[in-house]
Every structure is written in structure tokens, then in C-alpha cells.
Structure 1
Amino acid sequence: MHARPRTVVQMLPALHSGGVERGTVEIAEALVAAGHRAIVIADGGRYADHLRAIGAEWIPWPVGKKSVATLWRFVPKVRDLLMRERVDILHLRSRFPAWVGYLAWRRIPPALRPRLVTTVHGFYSVNRYSAVMTRGETVICVSEAIRRYVLRHYPRTDPARLVVIPRGIDPAAYPRGYRPDPDWFTQWYAQFPETRGKRWVTLPARLTRWKGQAELLTVWREIIARHPDAHALLVGGYDARRRDYVAELQQTIRAHGLENHVTLTGDRPDLKNILAASTVVLSLSTDPEAFGRTTLEALALGTRVIGYHHGGVAEQLAAIYPEGSVAVGDQTALARQIRAALDGTLPPVTQPLPERFTLAAMQHETLALYQRLAERVSLL
């Protein structure tokens, strides 16, 4: 966006940690750096202070609270803001805030409307509620898998309105060959002494059934029979609704005598170090991931990744490390690939991070899209 300064509004439920939130902040940062005005409408969260620090504007409206009252209260407010601030681009990033934003946008005379962008961040349930994410004049899909999902389940969507812009990471933040410093290992082993002298097989994902922790435990006894120095790390937290599932995992670990071979670490702020120190990282989601940022971070660091062949993870592996691809649910192949990683026969990661998976590319393509839209008349 090199023309006159633009005003861009992004809407999402809140500013807690997560892929949608991080992407919103990254685009706001790029807008401000390019001399544009970035406004974010969302409830509070950890990223609120960061938004202010980078020069973006945060409007703390709870537009993600799912109720008719939210619509009644905020549709007029958003409409008035869009007109008063002469907004050029309205970017909707989550379903209920998208309904608030879309209804507000529709109440503006067509000649005065900002251009409308939506991003499909996930494989939403297929219904009229989710269909709002396909209403953008341009619809950003975070992977080719998401693009196929939109066309399959919302066939009225014009394919010409779909643009694939993958989420990206900063390769400087995940340099190939990075290793944690000795102090980090000292602190880690003090907390998890059972992992000392072991080779880590890491599954980074919140503890929920579809993320595949049970898939790993099914093959783990076989793995350690051949590689007793292997240690599984289940890295991720869980909410109260998942307590029964976590109890199942813990029961499986005890029943199979795996207490000294599996560690549940909980949420970790040092995931980069864990990925870099691991022998292999796994992605075993039984439902496809829309993108799979953590696997991309591991691959950028040069850590081998073994993942089920679907969704955004399949696209990353095809581009960077096809040796790590395993058919969904094929536990025989999964065990074989993990053994190969531990045997040293699974090839190293040599392919550099493709440009299209970088943060700079995501920011550049998104801002270029905004500019193209801002320069043309409304399509809807």
C-alpha cells in the first residue's frame, strides 16, 4: 500500500493468545509501519498493550459475545464508526464479530462503504452462521485446504473472490540450527529430570481429543521397546472441559507402564526451545489443521516433522519435508517414521523456508490486497 494513507479496521472477539489474534496484530503492525491507520475492534486480552505500543488503535468493544443484545448494541456503533472515520477496509476475522461488522456494513449506502475482507481461519461447522465468513468482497483463505473447504461447502462463493495467503513466521526468529543455551537446559532438567539424557519426541498441541495425543500413546510402548532413550513430550494446556480426556491419557500412561517415558508439560512459554531440542516433532490431529503454525516453526528450525497428510500441515510438508508425511490414522506408518527418526535414517530437513510461508510475505500480500480493493468500486 504505497498510495495515500488508508484506514483499516479489523474485528475479532478478543485479544488473547491465538493464531487469529497474532495475525491481527501482525497486520496492524505492518499497516502502521507503512504509514497507514490501523484500528482493531475487540475485547481485551494480552495483545491490547502491544497494539497500543506499535501505534495501532484499540477499541475495546466486546463484539464477540454471542447474543442478540450484542447485535443491537454494536451494529449501529460499528456503522457510525465506519462512516465517521472514513474507513477504507473492513476486515472481519471471526464469525460473530463478522456478523456485527457485516450487518453494520450493509447499513451504509453502497457508495460510502469500505471494502469488505473476510478471513477463513478454520474448518468451521457448515451452516448459515459460518457462511458470513464467505461474504467478503475478497475472502482470504489461510491454506489451499481452506480454499477447497469453502468451495466444497459454500458452492455459491465465486472462486475469483478467494485468495490464499498463508500465515507466516519470521525466519529470523526461528533460525535454522538454533539451540537453546545451557541455562535453559539446566532449568528444564530441574523441572523435568525424567527427560535428561533422552531424545524427545514432541507433540505440541492443546490437550483435546482431536489433537492426537492418544494416537501417539498407542504406538509409544512399541517405540520405547526398541528405543528406551526416547521420551514423549505432550506440550500443551487444557481447559476444564477436557479434564476427562486428560484423565484418560494419564490412565493410559499408567496402564502401559509409561510413567517414565511420557511427560505432560502443560502450556509452555519456551516452545521454541523445546522444538529446537527435540529429535522429531509430531502433528497428529485427526481433523485437518487449517494451517499448523507450530509445525512450520519446527521445520524452520530444522527439526524433523512427522505429520498426518491433510490440511495445512500436508501443504507445509509437501513444500519443505515430504519425508515426514504419513497417511491419516496409519499407526503402522507413524511408528515406522518415528523409529526412522530415532534410528537416524529419516533424512534431515534441508529445504529452506519458502518465501510464501514468511511473515513478511503474509504482511506484504495482505497490504497489497487492501490497496487493490481500496482502488476499486464496491462489488457487493
Structure 2
Amino acid sequence: MSRPPAILQVLPALVSGGVERGTIEIAEATAAAGMRAYVASAGGPLVPQLEAVGATHVALPLDTKSPLAIWRNAGALADLARREEIAILHARSRGPAWSAFIAARRTGARFVTTWHGAYNENVPGKRLYNSVMVRGDRVIAISRFIADHILARHPDAAGRIRVILRGVDPRRFDPAAVPASRILAQREAWGAAPGQRLVLLPGRMTRWKGQMTLVEALPRLPGVRAVLVGAGSASFAGDLRDRAAALGVADRLVLAGHVDAMDVALLAADVVVHASTDAEAFGRTVTEAQSMGRPVIASDLGGPRETVEEGVTGWRVPPGDPAVLADALARVLAMPEAEREAIGAAARAVVLRDLTTEAMQRKTLDVYRELLQ
């Protein structure tokens, strides 16, 4: 190899989301470590951010599941791998992973995958389609929950799995860096009266994220204001408004849509709720809230079981039960302020110790170096 090692990450597009953010964070670490960082995708608004951290973007139509397109993309990736002496192809999604897997076999590059979800196998052929994610020389699981999920289906992958939890950037999510005036302005923008309790649920506007559970808990929480942060289905948002109106709590529900300053939004809340009814692979919104020192109540399934220690760094409740969620919220909101702050501080300490972006980057680079050696 005549140049520094090159790492090529592949994913469908660079639009928004945790997968995209993680891709940029690893590209940044790769470049900072003196390696050459490449990312192939169909593009999107995050391309300038990727290029700003020192990576090269290669535009390919990787946002497709068409077998013919996957085959063509494999050829393009193989050409790129030969031309740029790519040492490792790192795939983060199944369609692009097939193209990367074929390209790696053609060129002799090493192949790495990251499992960002618990892929279902409920239709014929899905198991084969998903299987590419376990064909890596190394298979990164973003939580122990995902590692167990992989092993239950593919026990032969045991020696190749590396658990690397997702990371939070403590510089971006730092409660000390947010002026009180911004917190007050955010609360006022959401219509919260002085002293009114405010509960925040951040998450994409889709049914399984559990927003309806929080809406149906509101009648049991007199005076509490609920804010749902996140873009997504307009139809589901309409359903939430209709249900709130039917329950008589429409005046205490805010659908805030996408929010750029999530650090401010989290600090504006008295409690942050994660209410997903399906198991999250990790649950990044939980650790972001913990990094801001906010008390968190999370669904007791999937990744949050690993980041929310009951009564120590937050609380867990059964998913999809408005009554139980309401009871938990009432208990936490009734706690003395100092006790809630102590829970938030303990949660932030765990994030700073174990769940930072830097830790995720370092452990991923260790995987790369293991294969390069």
C-alpha cells in the first residue's frame, strides 16, 4: 500500500439520523488518526458536514434494494477500492452492504458491518437479505441487546462480534454551556407557564415511538404540559391531536416538530420520556438526555435497559401502558428537586465515563487496526 490506509463507509444516503451522524463521527476519527476517510452514499444535506471533517464523499445510488442496482454499485465500489487502495469497506445498511460485500470479495479488502437495528425476518427471503450483515470479518453491534439478537440467529458469528455502544458528544450536550435565558425562552415558546411541569418526548413522529402512550397518560397528570419533538408522519400527528382533543388535554400538548437545539430542548424539560413500544437497538435520545443531566423514564426493553439503571440513572417502565407511565411521571415530578438533580448528575457521569463519541470512535478504530494488522 503506497498511501495511508483508506476506510470506505457505505450507507444509503446522508440525510439525517443516528446512522448518518455515526458515519460522520467515525469518518472524522479516521481522518484524525492519519487514515484516509471515504464515504459512499446517494448524498444528502449532510455531505458538507462530512467533507468538513476531512472525508471524501463518493456519490453512488446506494439508496436502493434493486438487485440490478446492487450489482452495479458493487462494480463501482470495487473500482473505487482498487483506485484508492481501500483497505476496509464498512457497511451500515443491508442494501449497500451487499454491494460492499461483493466489492470486498473482488478486491481483497476487509469487510466490516454495523448492526443498527434488530432486522425482522417476517417475509420470505428476508433472512437471506439480512444475512449480509453477519458476513463481516468484524460485526459491530451497537448494544448488547443487538449482540444477543445476532447470536440468537447466527451463533457462528460469536468470535467476530464487537459491541460498541453509540456515543454522545459531551461538548454538544453540556448543560453548563446553555444559558438560563435560552431555557426560559424555549419553555415560553412551548407555552409553558412559570413553574408548570414540562415533559419532553424526543423521537421521530411514528407510531412505535410511543407518543400516543404519553398523550393517553396526560389526563392522569393534571397541569403537566407534554412536548413531542421530532419530524415524521403528518397523518400520525393528526391522530395524536385528535386523541388529545378527545381526552380533553389538547391545550397541554405541543407538537414541536424538528428542533435543531436539542441541548436546549432537553434542559427545558423537567423529565424526558422514551416510550417506544418496539425494542430500540440503542436509544440515543436517552443518552443525550442523560448527558444533559435530565431525569429519564424509558421503556423497559431493548438498548435503554443497558443505559438506564433503575432508580440510579433513571427509571424504566413497561412499554405501551399509559397508566403505568403516568404513575411513574407523577412520582418523579413529585420528588424534591435535589433528588431529581442527583439522578440526572449520576446519569451524566455514566455517559462521560462510558458513552461518549470519543469512546465509540476509539473502539471502532481499534476494530479497523485489528483488521489492518
1:270 to 247, 261, 264: 261
Query: What residue number does 2:350 align with?
Result: 353
Aligned to 2:131: 131
Mapped to 2, the partners of 1:317 and 1:187 lie a distance apart of 26
CA contact (8 A) 2:11 2:40 kept: yes
2:54 matched residue in structure 1 = 55
Query: Per the alignment, in what secondary structure is the counterpart of residue 345 of structure 2?
Result: coil
Query: Could you tell me whether the CA contact under 8 Å between 2:166 and 2:360 is conserved in 1?
Result: yes
**How far is the alpha carbon of 1:271 from its aligned partner?**
1.8
Matched with 1:289 is: 280
Counterpart of 1:85 in structure 2 is 84
> CA separation in 1, counterparts of 2:11 and 2:181?
40
What is residue 26 of structure 1 aligned with on the other side? 25
Map of 1:158-237 to 2, 5 A cutoff?
Answer: 158-176=157-175, 179-183=178-182, 185-186=184-185, 189=188, 191-193=189-191, 197-224=195-222, 228=223, 230-237=224-231
Q: Quick check: 1:118 aligned with 2:113?
A: yes
> Which of 331, 334, 341 in structure 2 is aligned with 1:340?
331
Q: Which has the higher contact order (CA 8 A, sep 6+)?
A: 1
Task: Give the aligned residue type for 2:350.
Answer: L
C-alpha contact 1:299 1:320 (8 A) present in aligned 2: no
Counterpart of 1:349, as a letter, is: G
1:263 counterpart SS class: strand
CA distance in 1, matches of 2:40, 2:246: 49
Secondary structure of the residue that 1:369 maps to in structure 2? helix
Q: Deviation at 1:316?
A: 0.6
Contact 2:190–2:227 (Cα < 8 Å) also in 1 = no
Please list the CA deviations of residues 295-352 of structure 1 after superposition, one character each: whole Å capped at 9, or x if unmatched.
1011111110001111111111029945411133444432221001211256432321
Instruction: Give CA deviations for 1:83-141 in whole Å, capped at 9, x if unaligned.
Output: 22221111011110001111222233xxxx11111000011122211111111011000
Contact 1:178 1:301 in 2 (8 A): no
Matched-pair contact (CA < 8 Å) for 2:142–2:166: yes
Matched residue of 1:269: which SS?
Answer: coil
Displacement of 1:176 = 4.5
Deviates more, 1:67-76 or 1:359-368: 67-76
Identity, % of aligned positions: 38
Unpaired segments of 5 or more residues in structure 1?
A: 376-380
Contact 1:207 1:236 in 2 (8 A): yes
Is 1:152 aligned with 2:143? no
**1: CA distance, partners of 2:27 / 2:74:** 23
The worse-fitting range, judged by mean Cα deviation, of 113-122 and 337-346 is: 337-346
> CA–CA distance in 1 between the matches of 2:101 and 2:367?
19
- C-alpha separation between the residues in 2 aligned to 1:201 and 1:292? 18
Q: Match for residue 124 of structure 2?
A: none
SS of the aligned residue for 1:8 comes to strand
Give the Cα–Cα distance (whole angstroms) in 2 for the partners of residues 177 and 215 of structure 1: 32
Question: Secondary structure at the residue paired with 1:10?
Answer: strand
**Number of residue-to-residue matches in the alignment:** 359
Give 5+ residue unaligned stretches, structure 2. Answer: 122-126
- 4+ aligned runs moved over 6 Å, structure 1: none
What TM-score, normalized by structure 1, do the two folds share?
0.89
Please identify, of 179-188 and 296-305, the stretch whose mean Cα deviation from structure 2 is larger. Answer: 179-188
Contact 2:104/2:110, CA 8 A, preserved across alignment: no
Amino acid at match of 1:153: R
How much is the aligned-residue C-alpha RMSD, in angstroms? 2.0
SS in 2 for 1:174: coil
8 Å CA contact retained: 2:6, 2:35: yes
CA contact (8 A) 2:71 2:99 kept: no
Provide the C-alpha distance between the structure 2 equivalents of 1:215 and 1:167, rounded to a whole number of angstroms. Answer: 26
What TM-score results when the alignment is normalised by the length of structure 2? Answer: 0.90
One-letter amino acid of the counterpart of residue 226, structure 2: A
**Structure 1 position 302 matched with structure 2 position 293:** yes
- C-alpha distance in 2, partners of 1:18/1:195? 32
1:19–1:183 distance in 2 versus 1, CA, 3 Å = closer
Amino acid at match of 1:150: I
Match of 1:258 in 2: 249
Q: Deviations over 1:161-218 (max 9, x none)?
A: 11100110122322245544415633662x4335554221011111111110111122
Matched residues in 2 for 1:198 and 1:271: separation? Answer: 20
Tell me the equivalent position of 1:378: none
